[in-house]
Amino acid sequence: MGLTVLENELLSCRACSLVSYGRGPTSWTGTPSPILFIGEGPGGVEDEYGAPLVGPSGQLLDKALWSVGLTRDKVYVTNIIKCRPKGNRTPTAQESEVCASRWLAKEIELIRPVVIVGLGNVPLQYFLGSDKRITRSRGELHQLKNGVWFMPTFHPAYLLRQEGKAQIAAKWDVFNDFKAALAKMAELVGEQELKSSEPTNLLDLFQNRKEQRAAWLGKIHSVE
């Protein structure tokens, strides 16, 4: 099975109740790469476009990636949860386990990254346990059972909620965590060219999918 087949299966998934709260599952952005970035779950903009981290948090992520020599078209970005929870709440541990074991596990198997960067508490707790907290664990490298290295850091949404010196400090934390994750990747597979000449415009890239999802939602409402 390749990523195209997996994505087609994902976009038609109706396996749990989360799918009823939005426009359907979101997939991923970028291409297979030795370093993988995993967020929590889709928000409103992501639900519209069918892709992870393309709203304000995603735009901040793009800037952070650019600062360390990466662009979204050259690295793989996905979420633990593929559907938007009602009210944009944080996914539960059970929801994370059910969704990630069905989809994320297959993504990792296909991509075979050497380093995973987890953005926020949800991926941190999925990989390392529910007792972990991002404020205490960010910046630590852990080797998972499958041999892949895992680095947790702040989610871009957390950075957006900070102000003044706290926001500046948190942004530097993320920058340094990204650099450390890239250093580990280079140690394992050598230096990689993972940056295009210009940042990727994700909203333009997924405009067609946004229109398709809006049309699908309109049909559902017309039937109701």
Domains along the sequence of the chain with CATH: 3-191 (3.40.470.10)
Distance CA(195)–CA(199), nearest Å, equals 8
Mean of all residue pLDDT scores within the chain: 92
Q: What is the DSSP letter of 19?
A: G
Q: Is residue 138 within 8 Å of 177, Cβ to Cβ?
A: yes
Give the pTM. Answer: 0.93
Q: Which helix (H) or strand (E) holds 77?
A: strand 76-79
134-169 confidence digits (pLDDT tens): 999 999 999 999 999 999 999 999 999 999 999 999
26-60 confidence digits (pLDDT tens): 999 999 999 999 999 999 999 999 999 999 999 99
| Residue 61: closest CA among 163, 209, 174, 205 | 174
